[in-house]
Structure 1
């Protein structure tokens, strides 16, 4: 006879629920990694641009410096330590589809 339940934390749980929970965990880890990778990309671009601005104060226009500051504010507002924060999607949307990143890239010729 095929087993249809599994003991989890002392409770008999249907295998479908256990399998779904494992699938959800794997998906969550994968999505979390992708978000972290994307945030890391934007942060590294920002770090390089800020370093260039500190080396040569005339390298970027005032408008570009303002865009750098705004992008830094968006990235620093991302709640990395609070994955259940309901504003995560909204903040990530501002970072990713953010016109500041596009403006920054176009202004330096990327």
Structure 2
């Protein structure tokens, strides 16, 4: 386009990978990273709470090289529930975004 840059009104970064390129808003990337980190921290901390309470160090030990009852509690009982919660929450969010886009709800669009 004649060497001119397009101003989108906000800061963007261009990502290029093997013939595919995309412009990603910097604010979107930061917010996505913060929300993903928060989800991981909450899911991992959720492994410590339950009828048999564990400390964060016990959970970390059970995930890395633990054995015995603590590993059973964390890996076999609590981990599937935590993974399912994160996956189903993401699916609900994606479904809500699609529904708002299809119905063209005003709250789905930027102001």
Which TM class, normalised by the smaller chain length? 0.3 to 0.5
Which structure has more helix as a fraction of its residues? 1
TM-score for both structures, normalised by structure 1: 0.36
Flag the structure with more relative contact order, 1 or 2, with Cα contacts below 8 A and sequence separation at least 6. Answer: 1
